[in-house]
């Protein structure tokens, strides 16, 4: 397979059909029916093996043992794990050696990663300038920060959106600014502290093979660093003081970024919150950050331990950091792993120990609702989880008992429909 053949667009009707079915089943078989699960898992494992070797400073080149005749499966697994552009960079620089068809495929991933990052940067500049003109300070989160500071090249850190944190007092004004820029808001009642802003009209996905430069994007606004698995259980980071954040001059207007150890805590918490969908890219990101900012600095690890203990975040960062350490041993201080593992519920520890870094992302099918309850540690939290399950939730608040019964029936119907579809090829 050459780069040219890999880049041939699929028919839009077929892409839309696959996405529509996947939205019902949440089963990756419906996105890529031509890739059997054993092949997908084998591709994930090979990508994980190569990432471990490169990040462990194995001698160059690290040989990617995958035949060009099956390059499509490897490319799909890399796309799902977010590492296609990074593999392309490693192949381009000679860090990884692969058969020509495979390296050509990853060259396509890298090309689109670079162009997509440039596109997102332009949109970020536009938003930051508009917010600054209203006197609104922003903190840039996740990929649009780490891509520039921790990855070998910004385009190797694929991002689907632009994440910005604003002060709670600036929340309403920030939404007004984004609305004035022509963006349309989408709110999810499950995440009341967040809102996503996209260009008008239905999003169009150009391909299901790699992160396309022209694929959909959004501005995700946050007023808190907390994740909310369900009402009654928050992850404890809250809204940080902007005065404690680092001022960063990377863009046209100065922005803020999270300082250490808050940065590592937040990224580990965010990666772990997608418990059954932890992308290999997010584990690599944690390894790169830990090695650069914490390697050889025991006092920084102590500060990290103090922060997660003080905020009650230990159990929420445990899965991702444990997997990152197993991906590249020596990345995370052993004393920290012991501390956060000790704070995690026994069931959570058991689930994490059964996972492997390369295959932690479960897409066949995605377990869905269950990932919200892996964090539960006490009887009170189980009761809160039960209350969250049976309570009607919408933007208008609690409704009548009749509406609650109807809503629960619809949820059961959707779940049964998903199960039936998931078992029907």
CB 78 within 8 A of CB 106: yes
Is 418 a residue whose pLDDT tops 80?
no
Q: What is the pLDDT of residue 81?
A: 98
| SS3 track for 350-399 | HHHHHCCHHHCECCCCCCHHHHHHCCCCCHHHHHHHHHHHHCCCCCCCCC
- Quickly tell me which residue has 């190569």 as its tokens: 50
Q: What is the pLDDT of residues 37-81, one digit of tens each?
A: 999 999 999 999 999 999 999 999 999 999 999 999 999 999 999
Q: Please check the confidence at residue 230 and state whether its pLDDT lies above 90.
A: no
Q: Which of 190-194, 285-289, 344-348 has the lowest mean pLDDT?
A: 190-194
Q: What is the pLDDT of residues 377-415, one digit of tens each?
A: 888 877 877 777 776 554 444 455 555 556 555 655 565
Class of domain 3-359: alpha beta
Q: How many CB atoms lie within 10 A of CB 266?
A: 22
| pLDDT single digits (tens) 309-332 | 999 999 999 999 999 999 999 999
pLDDT (average), residues 179-205: 85
Average of per-residue pLDDT values in the chain = 89
pLDDT at 5 exceeding the cut of 50: no
Q: What is the DSSP letter of 277?
A: B
Radius of gyration of the chain from its Cα atoms, rounded to whole angstroms = 21
- Distances from the Cα of 274 to the Cα of 6, 51, 343, 363, 376, angstroms: 29, 21, 19, 12, 15
Average pLDDT over residues 159-180: 96
Whether residue 361 has pLDDT greater than 70: yes
247 or 402, greater pLDDT: 247
Q: What is the pLDDT of residue 368?
A: 73
Average pLDDT over residues 129-134: 96
Residue 255, token pair as written in the block? 């922005």
Least confident of 125-129, 178-182, 224-228: 224-228
Residues of the chain with CATH 3.30.460.40: 3-359
Name which residue leads in pLDDT, 235 or 38.
Answer: 38
Residue 53: the pLDDT is 98
């Amino acid at each position: 397979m050459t780069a040219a053949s890999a880049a041939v667009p699929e028919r839009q009707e077929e892409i839309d059909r696959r996405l529509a079915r996947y939205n019902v089943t949440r089963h990756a078989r419906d996105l890529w029916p031509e890739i059997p699960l054993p092949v997908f898992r084998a591709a994930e494992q090979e990508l994980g093996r190569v990432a471990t070797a490169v990040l462990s400073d194995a001698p160059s080149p690290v040989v990617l043992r995958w035949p060009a005749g099956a390059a499509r499966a490897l490319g799909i697994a890399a796309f799902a794990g977010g590492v296609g552009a990074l593999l392309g960079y490693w192949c381009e620089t000679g860090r990884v050696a692969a058969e020509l068809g495979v390296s050509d495929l990853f060259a396509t991933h890298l090309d689109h990663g670079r162009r997509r990052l440039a596109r997102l940067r332009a949109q970020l500049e536009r938003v930051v300038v508009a917010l600054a003109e209203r006197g609104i300070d922003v903190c840039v989160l996740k990929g649009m920060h780490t891509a520039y500071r921790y990855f070998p090249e910004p385009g190797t850190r694929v991002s689907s959106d632009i994440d910005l944190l604003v002060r709670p007092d600036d929340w309403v004004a920030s939404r007004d600014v984004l609305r004035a820029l022509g963006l349309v808001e989408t709110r999810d009642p499950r995440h009341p502290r967040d809102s996503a802003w996209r260009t008008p009209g239905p999003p169009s996905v150009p391909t299901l093979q790699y992160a396309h430069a022209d694929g959909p994007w959004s501005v995700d606004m946050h007023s808190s660093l907390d994740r909310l698995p369900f009402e009654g259980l928050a992850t404890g980071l809250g809204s940080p003081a902007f005065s404690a954040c680092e001022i960063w001059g990377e863009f046209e207007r100065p922005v803020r970024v999270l300082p250490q150890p808050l940065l590592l805590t937040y990224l580990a918490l965010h990666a772990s919150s997608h418990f059954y969908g932890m992308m290999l890219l997010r584990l690599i990101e944690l390894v790169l950050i830990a090695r650069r900012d914490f390697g050889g600095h025991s006092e920084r690890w102590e500060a990290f331990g103090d922060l997660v203990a003080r905020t009650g975040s230990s159990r929420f960062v445990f899965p991702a950091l444990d997997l990152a350490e197993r991906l590249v041993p020596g990345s995370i201080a052993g004393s920290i792993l012991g501390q956060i593992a000790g704070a995690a519920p026994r069931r959570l520890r058991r689930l994490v120990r059964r996972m492997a870094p390369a295959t932690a992302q479960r897409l066949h099918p995605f377990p869905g609702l269950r990932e919200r309850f892996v964090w539960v540690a006490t009887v009170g939290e189980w009761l809160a989880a039960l209350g969250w399950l049976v309570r009607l939730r919408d933007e208008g608040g609690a409704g009548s008992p009749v509406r609650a019964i109807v809503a629960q029936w619809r949820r059961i119907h959707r779940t049964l429909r998903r199960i039936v579809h998931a078992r029907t090829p």
